[in-house]
Amino acid sequence: MKINILRVILILLLLGTFFIIFGFSSQDGEVSGGISQRITKAILEKSNIYNNLNEEQKNEISHRTEKIIRKLAHFSIYTLVGLLLMGFVSTYKMKNKWRILITVGLGMLYAASDEFHQSFSPGRTPKITDVYIDTLGVILGALLIVLVKKIYYKYSKKHIKQLER
């Protein structure tokens, strides 16, 4: 019974994350770029070094930083996808190798479909590099679940042995 509740929660969180990604991909290029520019500007303006530059230097740094921030956004939201997918797949009995393969496969498939979806939004173009970045995020999320589970089980076994003494 508890496992079914966990599965439902993970699926709902995953669907919510997919909904957010879909919403971002539906934005036209101007809206998407505007959001990225505002976030970039807010981050850069925290730096005294940036604030002391001339406008041309600020624009160059802002342009370069915006690209990095956009890629980090891809990576981080797909890391969440990897965490949730791996968490869900881990509720089923199978070898970790299969759990990881299923998680990465589904994550990559969604990333590719997301890029395809972007091609229908004005001013947006699909990029294979974004699928790669998204997939790396999914892999990190899956590996984090594996790592946390290993640490948990290692600690649990030590704790149980100490209680048995």
DSSP string computed for 86-137:
HHHHTTS-S-HHHHHHHHHHHHHHHHHHHHHHHTTSTT----HHHHHHHHHH
CA-based nearest residue to 142, from 112, 165, 108: 108
Residues 114, 21: contact at Cβ < 8 Å? yes
Q: What is the pLDDT of residue 161?
A: 63
- Binned at pLDDT 50, 70 and 90, residue 164 comes out as low
- CA–CA dist 79, 81 (Å, integer): 5
- CA–CA dist 11, 32 (Å, integer): 27
- Give pLDDT tens digits for 124-162: 889 999 999 999 999 999 999 999 999 988 887 766 666
- CA–CA dist 76, 80 (Å, integer): 6
Residue 29 makes CB contacts below 8 A (sequence gap 6+) with 121, 122, 123, 124
- Give pLDDT tens digits for 7-48: 999 999 999 999 999 999 998 888 888 898 999 989 998 888
pTM of the model: 0.87
Mean pLDDT of all residues in 81-87: 98
